[in-house]
Amino acid sequence: MKSTLLLLAVAGAALLSVASADASNAQKQHDVNFLLWKVNEHLRDETHKGYAKTFDPEADKSHYSDNGEAVHHLVKELKDNRLLEQKHWFSLFNDRHREEALMLFDVLMHCKDWETAVKNAAYFRERMNEGEFVYAIYAAVIHHPLAEHVVLPPLYEVTPHMFTNTEVIQEAYAAKMRQTPTKIKSTFTGTARNKEQRVAYFGEDIGMNTHHVFWHLEFPFWWKDSYSHKLDRKGENFYWVHNQLTVRFDAERISNFLDPVEELQWDKPIHDGFAPHTSYKYGGAFPSRPDDIDFEDVDGVARVRDMIIIDSRIRDAIAHGYIIKEDGSHIDIMNDHGIDVLGDVIESSLYSPNAQYYGALHNTAHIMLGRQTDPHGKYNMPPGVMEHFETATRDPGFFRLHKYMDNIFREHKDSLPSYTFDDLDFKGVSVTNVAIDGTLETYFEDFEYSLLNAVDDTEEIADVDIDTYVPRLDHKEFSYNIEIKNEKGSEALATIRIFAWPHADNNGVKFSFDDGRWGAVELDKFWVKLSPGTSTITRKSTDSSVTVHDVPSFKTLMEKTEAALSGGGDLDLHDYESATGLPNRFLLPKGNHNGMEFDLLVCVTDGAADAAIADLHTNDDFIHYGANGVYPDKRPHGYPFDRHVEDERISNKSPTSITLM
Phi, psi of 468 (to 5 degrees): -130, 155
286 & 203 share domain: yes
pTM above 0.75, yes or no: yes
Cβ(493)–Cβ(527) under 8 Å? Answer: yes
Domain membership of residue 367 as a residue range: 190-415
Whether a cis peptide bond, with omega within 30° of 0, leads into 348 is: yes
504 & 640 share domain: yes
Please choose, from the candidates 287, 279, 277, 35, the residue with its C-alpha nearest in 3D space to the C-alpha of residue 162. Answer: 279
Give me the CATH number covering residue 511. 2.60.40.1520
Cα angle 185, 187, 189; round to 5 = 155
Give me the CATH number covering residue 321. 1.10.1280.10
Cα angle 58, 64, 67; round to 5 = 75
Query: Does residue 170 form part of some domain?
Result: no
Cβ(183)–Cβ(448) under 8 Å? Answer: yes
Last residue of a domain, one of 150, 176, 210: 150
348 & 311 share domain: yes
Q: Give the residues of the chain that fall short of pLDDT 70.
A: 1-23, 568-569, 618-628, 649-661
Element (H, E) at 119: helix 114-125
DSSP per residue, 427-493: TTEEEEEEEEES---EEEEEEEEE-GGGS---TTS----EEEEEEEEEE---EEEEEEEE-SSS-EE
Please choose, from the candidates 534, 528, 532, 531, the residue with its C-alpha nearest in 3D space to the C-alpha of residue 485. Answer: 534
Query: Does residue 576 form part of some domain?
Result: no
pLDDT of residue 661: 47
Provide the 8-state DSSP code for 660: B
pLDDT of residue 523: 94
pLDDT of residue 19: 34
pLDDT of residue 383: 96
Q: Give the separation between CA 645 and CA 408, rounded to whole angstroms.
A: 18
Query: Does residue 571 form part of some domain?
Result: no
Query: Does residue 1 form part of some domain?
Result: no
461-495 pLDDT, tens per residue? 889 999 999 999 999 999 999 999 999 989 999 99
Query: Does residue 296 form part of some domain?
Result: yes
What is the average pLDDT value for the chain, to the nearest integer?
A: 91
Report how many domains make up the chain: 3
Query: Does residue 324 form part of some domain?
Result: yes
Q: Which amino acid is at 61?
A: K
pLDDT of residue 364: 98
Q: Give the separation between CA 234 and CA 576, rounded to whole angstroms.
A: 23
Give me the CATH number covering residue 146. 1.20.1370.10
Last residue of a domain, one of 364, 397, 415: 415
pLDDT of residue 7: 28
226 & 276 share domain: yes
621 & 526 share domain: yes
pLDDT of residue 578: 80
221-255 pLDDT, tens per residue? 999 999 988 999 999 999 999 999 999 999 999 99
Q: Give the separation between CA 575 and CA 586, rounded to whole angstroms.
A: 17
645 & 541 share domain: yes
pLDDT of residue 92: 97
404 & 426 share domain: no
201 & 268 share domain: yes
pLDDT of residue 24: 84
275 & 353 share domain: yes
Query: Does residue 12 form part of some domain?
Result: no
